[in-house]
């Protein structure tokens, strides 16, 4: 199966969707093709931004199963996935364990510095890293890496510097859409689908 056939099966015709600017943009594809480390903010990116808190502390965050599969797909393709968040939560740690994500940085005040350190530790350049975020604290990290992505309701300043803006909502498909875009850019989307439908890429 070719990636074009896979795209058709996913029914994601970016040419008819002007808002997938980024989805059909050749520069964004070229930048995504270099990604070997993809990092994600959590609140407002992997979740809808809502947090239920009681007097005893944080109770719930809502994650998307489809987003989770997208992160797994990236890892299966050999792309390292990291969670980099300004908050600290055992809920995030638990979600990371479920998805077998080893790199989880919480309580991070300087996300750009965190990305530099991750790249240095992994023997990567910043151009080989990507970051997906939604708000001002994510700006430095997005500006530091080679590929920046945003959710559709991200702060306008975040959207302006993003190479790719998802059309699916934060916490409800945005990360999955981004994962498929990166895999498509690296000609690995069809092989990822092949793991589930039994077809050879």
pLDDT band at residue 199 under the 50/70/90 scheme: low
Instruction: Give the residue with greater pLDDT, 125 vs 12.
Output: 125
Q: Which tens digit of pLDDT belongs to each residue from 60-85?
A: 899 999 999 999 999 999 999 999 99
Query: Alpha-carbon distance 136 to 182, whole Å?
Result: 23
* 175: exposed, middle or buried (Cβ count in 10 Å: 0-12, 13-18, 19+): buried
User: In this structure, how many other beta carbons lie within 10 angstroms of the beta carbon of residue 8?
Assistant: 12
| Domains along the chain with CATH numbers | 3-195 (3.40.50.1000)
Report pLDDT digits (tens) over 93-128: 999 999 999 999 999 999 999 999 999 999 999 999
Chain centroid to CA 144: how far? 16
Decide if 149 contacts 132 (C-beta within 8 A): yes
Average pLDDT over the chain reads: 88
Angle of the 65-76 helix axis to the 189-197 helix axis, nearest 10: 110
Question: Which tops the pLDDT comparison, 151 or 8?
Answer: 151
Please tell me what DSSP assigns to residue 155.
-
Integer Cα distance of 71 and 88 in angstroms: 20
Interacting residues of 119 by C-beta distance below 8 A, sequence separation 6+: 37, 125, 126, 128, 129
Could you give the C-alpha distances from 176 to 32, 54, 119, in angstroms and in order? 14, 30, 23
Through-space distance between the first and last CA atoms of the chain, rounded to whole angstroms: 4
Residue keyed to tokens 């992160």: 71
Please enumerate in sequence order all residues whose Cβ is within 8 A of that of 100, keeping only pairs 6 or more positions apart, or say none: 72, 75
The whole model's pTM is what?
0.85
C-beta separation of 92 from 69 below 8 A? no
């Amino acid at each position: 199966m070719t990636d074009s056939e896979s795209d058709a099966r996913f029914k994601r015709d970016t040419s008819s969707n002007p808002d997938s600017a980024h989805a059909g943009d050749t520069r964004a594809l070229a930048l995504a093709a270099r990604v070997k480390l993809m990092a994600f903010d959590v609140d407002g990116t992997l979740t809808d931004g809502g947090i239920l808190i009681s007097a005893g502390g944080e109770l719930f965050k809502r994650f998307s199963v489809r987003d989770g599969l997208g992160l797994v797909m990236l890892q299966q393709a050999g792309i390292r996935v990291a969670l980099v968040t300004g908050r600290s939560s055992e809920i995030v740690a638990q979600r990371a364990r479920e998805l077998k994500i080893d790199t989880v940085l919480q309580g991070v005040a300087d996300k750009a510095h965190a990305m530099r350190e991750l790249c240095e530790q992994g023997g990567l350049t910043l151009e080989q890293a990507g970051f997906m975020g939604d708000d001002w604290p994510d700006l430095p990290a997005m500006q530091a890496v080679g590929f920046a992505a945003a959710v559709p309701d991200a702060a306008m300043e975040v959207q302006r510097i993003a190479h790719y803006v998802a059309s699916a909502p934060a916490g409800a498909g945005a990360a999955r859409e981004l994962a498929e875009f990166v895999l498509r850019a690296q000609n690995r989307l069809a092989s990822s689908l092949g793991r589930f439908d039994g077809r050879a890429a």
